[in-house]
């Protein structure tokens, strides 16, 4: 309930800040309107810019903003609201042209005043951000290059938009309005400074050393990190961080990874990473002793936030990583509640952590159900994929008393969710996490 | 599910902001609500021979028009400003 009220507060604050510029426009001496469509066009321009400026807060990973919703929801919200803000900004010139066709000539940068051209360039910069985000993979952009473009172009676009707004100077006459707009701009700049300077500086003061790089089954590696000169990082089992390896924390070359270690040992952190993309391909060649930096912890995929009588985990492939963190933590806490793990893998030899899971079954009230897509000869366990039938055979009768945690590839998550629905599990009792928001 | 939840939140927020923007436009365009058309001041001088409005009323002219008229051509002045018959030749 605490998270619900706090979430409402955060959403209310977002809406007030997004609409604040529109109220500011009406402060002070009355400014005559210029017809409904022209004023709507102007209003959409101001609202779109305010929404774009607030993106610095949404992507800044402020704990105060992410904690009630989870960072994945905040990032998905960022993506969706950016698209809406872009539509607002697109409607701004379109409606202006509709209400006053003579303004078409202003799109010619040779004759248009500089502040009009600034607005046009800002619009194309926002378009570049949207297109590069929606079609990053199709455009062949690496995550690092896309992030760099995204960050720098966003700052340029917002700055040019502010220049455009000041240049038009219709609604900003008067000290009060100018003062309020300066205050709004300062909050955006402060958010940006925090993200680009303060946060990396704080990370720089809390470095880690990679102690060991341990090969695991299925082309995965476990990185063990030791804090240098500090106590480490307190986290909840199932959470994740942004990890920077061998680079400065100012380099923004960081990637999200889930903890695989027990939350009871903040001084001994571990991350298990599967070789999947351009960065993770190199993870096995990381040399012990390399410096690392951590931004986090983030995420709401944790049983600590969802107290229930029992837990069911459904993991596919490397999706076992946060589940291992949860199970290791539960073992350290001498957890007594019933636990059930459905673990989908391609082959028996690829089952990461299978030996440790065997041991954990002895320490915890845990049942592990391996489901193999390509089982070896003589396999008597479950085979194929984790579906309603497989789960129905093993779920306890009081399945409604359990909370469900699903982690794995996106198609698997979608399949599991519909299977759980078929089994009568309420959707609000199903937690999932994927990193498709980056 | 969480992606859908975020999408619904964004649509609700965007919709609310859009509604407030419409309200702003209505506040600034009371003629829409009163259904009356706002007209500019009548042209208080002869029109023939003075068709190129911005030679006097451009931003650099002797009687410059307000900044909100910037970018409008001479052809659009008569959309709001009507000729004063008494001043006409």
pLDDT tens digits, B19-76: 999 999 888 887 666 554 456 778 888 877 888 888 888 878 888 887 777 777 787 7
Do B8 and B49 belong to one domain? no
Nearest CA to CA, how far is A88 from chain B (Å)? 8
Rg for chain B (alpha carbons), in Å?
21
Do B50 and B78 belong to one domain? yes
Nearest CA to CA, how far is A437 from chain B (Å)? 9
* Residue of chain A nearest B21, judged by CA positions: A43
User: Which helix (H) or strand (E) element contains residue A294?
Assistant: strand A291-298
Dump pLDDT digits (tens) for A41-56: 999 999 999 999 898 8
Q: CB distance B9–A84 less than 8 Å? A: no
* Residue of chain B nearest A112, judged by CA positions: B71
pLDDT of residue B13: 95
Q: Is the pTM higher than 0.90?
A: no
Cα dihedral: B25, B31, B34, B39 (round 10): 180
Do B45 and B15 belong to one domain? no
Rg for chain A (alpha carbons), in Å?
25
Q: Tell me the average pLDDT across A293-307.
A: 89
Q: If you write DSSP's letter for every residue of A257-273 in order, what string do you get?
A: EEB-S-TT-TTSEEEEE
Of all residues in chain A, the percent with pLDDT exceeding 90 is 51
Nearest CA to CA, how far is B51 from chain A (Å)? 17
Do B44 and B82 belong to one domain? yes
With a cut of 90, say whether residue A373 has pLDDT above it: yes
pLDDT of residue A438: 54
Of all residues in chain A, the percent with pLDDT exceeding 70 is 97
Confidence of residue B86 (pLDDT cuts 50, 70, 90): low
Strands A339-345 and A366-372: parallel
Number of domains, chain B: 2
| CA–CA distance, A296 with A249 (Å, rounded to integer) | 13
pLDDT of residue A437: 58
Do B50 and B72 belong to one domain? yes
Helix (H, G, I), strand (E, B) or coil at A158: helix
The answer to whether the CB of A426 falls within 8 A of the CB of A400 is: yes
pLDDT of residue A149: 87
Cβ partners under 8 Å of residue A283, min gap 6: A213, A221, A223, A273, A275
Interface test with A, best of B11, B29, B32, B81 (most A CBs within 10 A): B29
Q: Tell me the average pLDDT across A359-387.
A: 94
Residue ranges of the alpha helices (H) in A299-404?
A: 320-332, 354-363, 388-394
For residue A299, report the phi and psi dihedrals to the nearest 5 degrees: 105, 150
Cβ partners under 8 Å of residue A382, min gap 6: A369, A370, A371, A372, A390, A393
Do B14 and B44 belong to one domain? no
Confidence of residue B88 (pLDDT cuts 50, 70, 90): very low
Confidence of residue A219 (pLDDT cuts 50, 70, 90): confident
Q: Mean pLDDT in chain A?
A: 89
Helix (H, G, I), strand (E, B) or coil at A292: strand
Q: CB distance B2–A70 less than 8 Å? A: yes
With a cut of 50, say whether residue B89 has pLDDT above it: no
Interface test with B, best of A10, A12, A19, A117 (most B CBs within 10 A): A19
Q: What is the largest CA-CA distance in chain A?
A: 84
Do B25 and B43 belong to one domain? no
A34: nearest Cα among B79, B13, B12 = B79
Do B23 and B45 belong to one domain? no
Do B64 and B44 belong to one domain? yes
Q: Does A172 touch chain B (CB under 8 A)?
A: no
Domain containing B89 equals 39-89
Do B18 and B49 belong to one domain? no
With a cut of 50, say whether residue A262 has pLDDT above it: yes
pLDDT of residue A339: 96
Do B2 and B45 belong to one domain? no
Q: CB distance B21–A22 less than 8 Å? A: yes
Chain A residues within 8 A of B20 when measuring between CB atoms: 19, 22, 47
Chain B residues within 8 A of A73 when measuring between CB atoms: 2, 5-6, 9
The answer to whether the CB of A315 falls within 8 A of the CB of A408 is: yes
Chain B residues within 8 A of A69 when measuring between CB atoms: 6
Do B89 and B48 belong to one domain? yes
């Amino acid at each position: 309930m605490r998270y619900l009220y706090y979430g409402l507060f955060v959403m209310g604050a977002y809406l007030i800040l997004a609409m604040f510029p529109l109220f500011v426009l009406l402060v002070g001496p009355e400014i005559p309107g210029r017809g409904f469509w022209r004023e709507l066009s102007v209003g959409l321009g101001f609202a779109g810019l305010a929404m774009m400026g607030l993106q610095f807060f949404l992507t800044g990973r402020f704990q105060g903003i992410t904690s009630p919703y989870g960072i994945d929801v905040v990032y998905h919200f960022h993506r969706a609201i950016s698209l809406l803000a872009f539509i607002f900004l697109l409607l701004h010139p379109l409606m202006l042209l509709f209400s006053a066709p003579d303004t078409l000539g202003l799109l010619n940068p040779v004759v248009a005043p500089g502040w009009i051209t600034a607005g046009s360039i800002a619009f194309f910069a926002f378009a570049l951000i949207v297109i590069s985000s929606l079609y990053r993979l199709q455009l062949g952009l690496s995550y690092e290059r896309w992030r760099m473009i995204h960050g720098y172009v966003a700052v340029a676009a917002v700055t040019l938009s502010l220049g455009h707004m000041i240049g038009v100077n219709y609604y900003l006459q008067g000290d009060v309005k100018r003062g309020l707009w300066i205050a709004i701009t300062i909050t955006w700049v402060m958010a940006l400074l925090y993200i680009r300077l303060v946060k990396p500086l704080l990370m720089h003061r809390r470095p880690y050393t990679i102690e060991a790089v341990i090969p695991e089954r299925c082309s995965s590696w476990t990185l063990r990190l030791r804090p240098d000169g500090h106590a480490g990082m307190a986290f909840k089992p199932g959470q994740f961080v942004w990890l920077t390896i061998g680079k400065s924390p100012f380099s923004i070359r960081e990637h999200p990874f889930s903890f695989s270690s027990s939350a009871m040992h903040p001084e001994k952190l571990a991350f298990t990473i599967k070789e999947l993309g351009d960065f993770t391909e190199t993870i096995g060649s990381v040399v012990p002793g390399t410096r690392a930096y951590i931004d986090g912890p983030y995420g709401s995929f944790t049983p600590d936030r969802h107290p229930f009588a029992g837990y069911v985990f459904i993991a596919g492939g490397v999706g076992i990583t946060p589940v291992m963190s949860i199970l290791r933590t539960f073992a350290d806490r001498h957890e007594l509640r019933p636990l059930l793990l459905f673990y989908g893998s391609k082959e028996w030899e690829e089952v990461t952590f299978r030996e440790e899971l065997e041991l954990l079954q002895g320490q915890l009230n845990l049942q592990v159900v391996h489901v193999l897509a390509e089982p070896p000869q003589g396999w008597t366990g479950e085979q194929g994929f984790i579906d309603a039938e497989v789960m129905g055979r093993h779920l306890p009768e009081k399945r409604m008393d359990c909370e469900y945690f699903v982690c794995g590839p996106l198609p698997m998550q979608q399949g599991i969710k519909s299977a759980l629905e078929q089994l009568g599990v309420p959707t609000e009792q199903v937690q999932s996490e994927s990193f498709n928001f980056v | 599910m969480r992606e859908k939840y975020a999408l619904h939140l964004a649509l609700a927020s965007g919709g609310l902001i859009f509604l407030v923007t419409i309200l702003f436009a209505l506040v600034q365009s009371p003629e829409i609500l009163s259904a009356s058309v706002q007209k500019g001041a009548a042209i208080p001088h002869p029109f023939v021979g003075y068709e190129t409005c911005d030679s006097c009323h451009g931003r650099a002219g002797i009687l410059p028009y307000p900044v909100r008229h910037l970018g409008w051509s001479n052809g659009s002045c008569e959309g709001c400003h009507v000729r004063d018959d008494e001043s006409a030749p």
